[in-house]
Amino acid sequence: MKIAFIGAGRMAEALISRLPKNFQVIAADVDQKRLSTLVRKYGLRAVAGNQAAFSAGDVVILAVKPQQMAAVAAELKTADFRRRPKIIVSIAAGVPLRWLGKQLPGQLIVRAMPNNPCLVGAGITALAKGKRVAPGQLNVVNKIFKAVGEVVELPEKMLDAVTGLSGSGPAYVYWMIEGLVAGGVAAGLPQQLAKKLAVETVIGAAVTAKQTAHSLTDLRMMVASPGGTTVEGLLVMEKYQTAQGLAAAVKAAAQKAAAISSRFK
């Protein structure tokens, strides 16, 4: 199967680097130097222009930013749609299936919301399919994104919330790690040791939350012995409303995704 990437940025490279060997990869990008780098690293086939990539692929990944989508769609409108429909996957936040369907009539369209940890194969991607997409066709898309982490399938109406949580969430976690590192340094640890301890602590806590049946509250209380050091820290976090801030950040990012969607009529 031939998979074509329109846009060859970091997320495209994350997918390209881990795709099963039975996929043939084609890519187009305005940055020819970037394309040359990917050809050298992965042996993919670079083509001149988005229409050439569209024509070459059985699956076409629209790996462009939302603000670029209108221009890309306008260019593809003049492509030959008379042949067998292609599976079109958009990873642009906030661009709705309805709009994509109008721009690319007759095509099999799926929206995907991957996240930053896909860069190291530890991401999670949410998929929402258009009405014409059959289970077998969605399975193809599922297989592509499973190469870079976990996959969930859900209704499109949930994608704005997904964007706010798992799409934007890694940035919030990185900021939390920065805070842990800063606290460790302030308490007397060298920078690199503080970073190692902070990163491994976050990884360990996440794996524990994933692999045990305990609720998050139960896990927190296991660490927070009455009168102990953790309780002292949690009191400070309550003072600064850390949990409320995270919840508000997710909501704000989801609302921004919805606002982007509203621009595509």
Q: Is 228 annotated as a binding residue?
A: no
Nearest to 130 by CA among 153, 161, 147, 149: 153
The predicted pLDDT at position 81 comes to 56
Query: Please, what CATH class does the domain formed by 2-159 belong to?
Result: alpha beta
Q: Is 9 annotated as a binding residue?
A: yes
Q: Is 66 annotated as a binding residue?
A: yes
HSE toward the beta carbon, residue 264, CA cutoff 13 A = 23
The predicted pLDDT at position 257 comes to 95
Kindly report, as residue ranges, where domains of CATH 3.40.50.720 are found in the chain.
Answer: 2-159
Q: Is 185 annotated as a binding residue?
A: no
- Residue 60's SS3 state is strand
Q: Is 204 annotated as a binding residue?
A: no
Q: Is 71 annotated as a binding residue?
A: no
The predicted pLDDT at position 82 comes to 56
Q: Is 49 annotated as a binding residue?
A: no
Q: Is 239 annotated as a binding residue?
A: no
HSE toward the beta carbon, residue 6, CA cutoff 13 A = 28
Kindly report, as residue ranges, where domains of CATH 1.10.3730.10 are found in the chain.
Answer: 169-260
Mean pLDDT of each 10-residue bin along the chain, 265 residues long? 96 95 93 95 94 94 95 84 83 96 94 97 97 96 97 97 97 98 98 98 98 97 95 97 97 96 90
CATH superfamily of 169-260: ProC C-terminal domain-like (1.10.3730.10)
Residues 90, 112: contact at Cβ < 8 Å?
A: yes
Q: Is 8 annotated as a binding residue?
A: yes
Q: Is 10 annotated as a binding residue?
A: yes
